[in-house]
Amino acid sequence: TSQSVTLTVGSYSTRFDVTTAVADRVPTPFSFDPISGVLVNTAVTSSTRTVNGINAPTPISIEGGEYSISGAAFTSAPGTVLNGQGIRVRVISSSAFVSTKRAVVTIGGVSGNFDVTTVAEDPVPDAFAFTEATNVTLDTWVSSSSAGIWGINTAAPVSVENGEYSI
């Protein structure tokens, strides 16, 4: 839109014209780098993407996650973003192994995805060993040292031969 103002002092007049820019609420296309190898049911936050290409406050919304504008609290409620502000997305990974959760952020009609994929199920522990017991008295119970079980991300079956175990 244009607006003109004329200033007259005595017999001299001058005109001042102002033309406003057309509001551009369509940002430059954006996306968020996917993240894989995530544990199940884990909060995962994207890297920051800067909003570019708009010159007016522009609506932002999300499906399947939450967003944060310039470090503010995460929210899933619709909001407004300005040119130059940073956007991060947070998703809770799937409760299933090898499964992808997607959050879709929409700014001014342009959408960007953030995909988070969980790890494969791993019930096989890292190698572990017990210290051998020697010179043990006959007919006595012997307890081994404790062993830390690492490297699994799901329940694993436990069994023992010729003895008992305790967890």
Residue from 22, 67, 75 nearest 47 by CA: 67
Mean pLDDT computed over every residue of the chain = 95
Q: Topology of 23-118 in CATH? A: Immunoglobulin-like (2.60.40)
Q: How far apart are CA 67 and CA 61, in angstroms?
A: 8
Nearest C-alpha neighbor of 114 from the set 80, 90, 82, 96: 90
In tens, the pLDDT along 149-167 reads 999 999 999 999 988 888 8
Strand partners, 3: 18
| pLDDT value for 88 | 99
Question: Of 89, 90, 92, 61, which is closest to residue 77 (Cα–Cα)?
Answer: 61
Cα 38 to Cα 34, 105, 116, distances in angstroms: 11, 21, 7
3-class secondary structure per residue, 27-90: CCCCCCCCEEEECCCCEEECCCEECCCCCCCEEEEEECCEEEECCCCCECCCEEECCCCEEEEE
The answer, yes or no, to whether residue 1 has pLDDT greater than 80, is: no
70-109 pLDDT, tens digit per residue, is 999 999 999 999 999 999 999 999 999 999 999 999 999 9
Yes or no: say if 32 and 107 are a contact pair by the CB < 8 Å rule.
no
Structure tokens at 93: 């990974």
- Residue 34 burial (CB count, 10 A): 13
Domain boundaries of the chain, sorted by first residue: 23-118
Region of 81 (left: φ > 0; alpha: ψ -120 to 50; beta: rest) is beta
